[in-house]
Chain A
Amino acid sequence: MNPVTRQWREPAGVSAHEVVAVSPGAQLDAPLGASDADDLVHGLYREHAVTLVRMAKLLLRDRESAEDAVQDAFLGLYRALDRLTDHDDLTPYLRAAVINRCRSVLRTRRRAMLRPVQHEPEVSSPESAAMAAEERRAVLDAVSQLPRRAREVLVLRYYLGLTDEQVAATLSVSRGTVSSTASRAIAALGKTLKEDL
């Protein structure tokens, strides 16, 4: 394990507060106007927000954080629109962006994630009331104990219904990794659920 070495550099004589005034992301060639970008991103939000929030909630087990992650992903998309060449299918980008933000949230709140989660379903709807069923709770609890990548693979595969190729593209891993991760995760779940139920 050889460390990679780099070097500090002197700042260009500006103070911390002056750095604030210089936008590092400023680019001059923007193909979309602000209102076009607004319309595009709002349209995508209307179309995909619910699914993405649900996906993020499965990964984070927390509704508020899930919504934050999705909102941040769309805000990031808005900023990045000019650097993205394919505006016709931004769904994979959004999926990956939400997953990246979920990872950040999990790292920030790893302490909370590793604590046993009291999964309290909302009781205001028949669907969520049904969630109180012991088996579903056990399944979700067991999933939450899996390694991060395994959780992501399972959610993308069995909630979003993505193919292994799409999962691989979203997570930037090989298709073989997706298959093996899913197999191990299913096996681990089977063992855990057998013990718990």
Chain B
Amino acid sequence: MTIEDKLRDAFRADGESVRPETIRPLGARLGNHPDSDRPLRPRRLTIPLLAAAGVAVIALGASVAVPKLLPADVVKHRLGPASRAASTGIPAARFPLAARSLAGGYPDGRLPADPMPRYFVGITYPGRKPATEYAFTVAVYSSATGKIVARLSPPEPGRYFQAVAAIGDDNTFVAAATPGFPRPGDCRTWLYEFRLTASGTPTGLTPLAVPEVTGWASQSSLAGSGNGSLITYSTYGCTRTGGGSTGPYTLGEIDLRTRKSRSWSNPEVAAIRGAGSPEDYQFSGLPALSDGGLFSFVRGGNITSMAALLVRLTEPAVEVRRVLTSPGTGGVLATALSPNARVTFALTVRRPTYPYTIQLGAYDTATGQLLRTWDAASHQGIGSELMTADPSGGHLLVAGFPDPLNQITVVSVATGEAATLSLTQASMPLDIAW
């Protein structure tokens, strides 16, 4: 039997495991589906359009007029998520105050003018190993060209890098590694620290002397604070047959000054990306952590209800505030925070069908107000879920944007310039840090 015949045979047999009678009906997913925003006939749109326009005008009027009419503290409670958070008993003062402008989201009300770091790092899968072996390595990229200038191999056989985060400055990073093959009893994550030299060479890879992290880390599951004091991570538990993307989920925080850690098992916000059923909340991990210990999450029960959340690790339960909800199908893809968390950068889907439109927006964390925006058309689909800010918060790195397969965009928050770097598909990172 030739290879082609073996393929046909294997494909046919695998295909037959999907029985026609077991396929879910399309049913109500069309006209009655809440996301079925298919354009209708003009006459059927007349009233809804007028109504929508009316709502938009009223809302626009309110957002412009209210700040002029009411004192600042009243405004804070009249606008969006802040009032909801206050009403649920979350102490508003512990979450960031309104930025009111992009510069207001930065220390001293000034946008950082620091140059972008020369290098960023990512986790890559070169794919050159034998089929049964996986080699996730740390790659060092030039921020100017996107070219990989150095690689860092896993510290020992059987450990594979999964996530990376900057900690303290643009030269120091923490990487999470897991066993290559999930096995019961081997359900843990190792944390390592390394630095970049001036020429971008990774050096000094050492295990981080912190309490053992249980569970498996996945991409975007690690974040470090800019002041170098905190690491947060999320992991998922291992099933009897190996890894698995179902619980128990763990959310953890490590204080690098005291080397103490605390963790939350199955907290409301701790499910990791890829959780299976639509009923499960899904999160894109911990893309950003502010110096104040606040971190941002993307959450969604399904692709139509994604939200960017700001989370504060408190005991016994974490506190959550919604920053923005996705405008539609596709959802919030990724978030990043300014250093004081007053500005949340979010990547959202504006148009979920061809030609896809993805929007990078800067939002006032406290009010959800859009402060800056940048739309990009993508002809390749939607897939980017990686975004990170440099230590000053002055530059954003967005992987898979606007082309999810092989582009990275570098955005200067201060000047608004965005530079798109084209990478080969093999060099596209699975996680990034700057």
Q: Is the interface of A mostly helix, strand, loop or mixed?
A: helix
**How many A residues touch B, CB cutoff 8 Å?**
98
A41 touches B325 (CB 8 A): no
Task: For the complex formed, measure the closest distance between the CB of B33 and the CB atoms of chain A, giving whole angstroms.
Answer: 7
The answer on a CB contact under 8 Å between A71 and B29 is: yes
Report B-chain residues with C-beta under 8 Å of the C-beta of A147: 127
CB atoms of B372 and A10 under 8 A apart:
yes
Could you say which of A45-53, A162-170, A173-181 contacts chain B?
Answer: A45-53
User: Is A91 close to B, CB under 8 A?
Assistant: no
Which residue of B12, B24, B63, B147 contacts A159 across the interface (Cβ within 8 Å)? B12
Interface flag for A79 (CB, 8 Å): yes
Q: Does B4 contact A (CB under 8 A)?
A: yes
- The reply to whether B17 and A103 contact each other, CB–CB distance below 8 Å, is no
CB-defined contacts of B4 to chain A, threshold 8 Å? 158, 186
A23 at the B interface (CB under 8 A)? yes
Take A4-B420, A108-B385 as given contacts and tell me if A140 and B37 are in contact as well, using a CB distance cutoff of 8 Å. Answer: no
The answer to the question of B214 belonging to the interface, with a C-beta cut-off of 8 Å to chain A, is no
Q: Is A50's CB under 8 angstroms from B373's CB? A: no
Contact B146 A136 (CB under 8 A): no
* Cβ contact of B181, chosen from A37, A79, A80, A116, cutoff 8 A: A116
Using an 8 Å CB-CB cutoff, how does the interface string of A47-63 with B read, 1 for contact, 0 for none? 00110011101100001
Residues of B contacting A154 in the complex (Cβ-Cβ under 8 angstroms): 7
Within 8 Å by CB of B26, from A42, A58, A121, A141, lies A42
| Closest residue on chain B to residue A149 by CB atoms | B425
Decide if A103 touches B381 in the complex (CB within 8 Å). Answer: yes
Instruction: Output the least CB separation between B326 and chain A (Å).
Output: 8
- B: number of interface residues (CB 8 Å): 108
**B205 sits at the interface (CB 8 A):** no
Residues 77-99 (chain B) with a chain A CB within 8 angstroms: 80
B351: chain A residues at CB < 8 Å are 24-25
| A115 adjacent to chain B (CB < 8 Å) | yes
Are A136 and B13 neighbours in the complex by a CB distance under 8 Å? yes
A128 contacts B6, CB within 8 Å?
no
Are B241 and A14 touching (Cβ within 8 A)?
no
Q: Which of A11, A57, A114 contacts B14 (CB 8 A)?
A: A57
Q: Whose C-beta in chain B lies nearest to the C-beta of A187?
A: B3
Within 8 A of A (CB), among B312-327: 324-325, 327
Interchain nearest-CB distance for A35 vs B (Å): 8
Q: Nearest chain-A residue to B80 (Cβ)? A: A17
Do A79 and B37 contact each other (CB < 8 Å), given the known contacts A110-B430, A158-B8?
yes
Binds A, one of B40-48, B150-158, B225-233, B255-263: B40-48
Interface residues of A in 20-50 (CB under 8 A from B): 20-30, 33-35, 37-38, 41-42, 45, 49-50
User: Which residue on chain A has the smallest CB distance to residue B352?
Assistant: A76
**Given A14-B370, A131-B17, CB of A19 within 8 Å of CB of B10:** no
Contact, CB under 8 Å: A26 / B45: yes
Contact with A57, one of B18, B33, B243 (Cβ below 8 angstroms): B18
A146 CB to nearest B CB, Å: 8
Residue on A nearest B423 in the bound complex, by CB: A1
A-chain residues with CB within 8 Å of residue B17 when the two chains form the complex: 57, 63, 121-122, 125, 127-128, 131
- Say whether B64 contacts A136, CB under 8 Å: no
A26 to chain B, nearest CB (A): 6
Asked whether, in the complex, the Cβ of A114 is within 8 Å of the Cβ of B419, the reply is no
B113 contacts the other chain (CB 8 A) = no
Is A14 a contact partner of B23 (Cβ separation < 8 A)? Answer: no
CB-based contact B7/A108 at 8 Å? no
Question: Does A6 sit at the interface, judged by CB under 8 A?
Answer: yes
- CB of A184 closer than 8 Å to a CB of B: no
Contacts of A155 in B (CB 8 A): 11
Which residue on A lies nearest to B221, using beta carbons?
A111
Interface pair A104/B383, CB less than 8 Å apart: yes
Bound CA–CA A41/B28 (angstroms): 12
Q: Given the complex of chains A and B, what is the CA–CA distance between A102 and B243 in angstroms?
A: 22
| Complex: A103 Cα to B380 Cα, angstroms | 10
Contact across chains for A16 and B363 when beta carbons are under 8 A apart: yes
> Which residues of A come within 8 Å of B, CB atoms?
1, 3-11, 13-30, 33-35, 37-38, 41-42, 45, 49-50, 53-55, 57-58, 63-64, 66-67, 71-72, 74-76, 78-82, 100-101, 103-104, 107-112, 114-116, 118, 121-122, 125, 127-128, 130-131, 135-136, 139-143, 145, 147-148, 154-155, 158-159, 186, 189-190, 192-193, 195
Known: A15-B63, A54-B15, A158-B11. 19 other contacts (CB 8 A): A1-B145, A6-B418, A9-B374, A9-B416, A13-B63, A14-B60, A20-B328, A22-B56, A30-B40, A30-B42, A33-B41, A74-B30, A75-B30, A79-B353, A104-B383, A107-B400, A111-B273, A140-B14, A143-B10
19 contacts between A and B (CB under 8 A): A3-B410, A3-B421, A8-B374, A9-B372, A10-B373, A16-B368, A16-B369, A26-B49, A30-B41, A38-B31, A54-B18, A75-B33, A108-B274, A112-B243, A114-B134, A143-B10, A145-B132, A159-B11, A186-B4
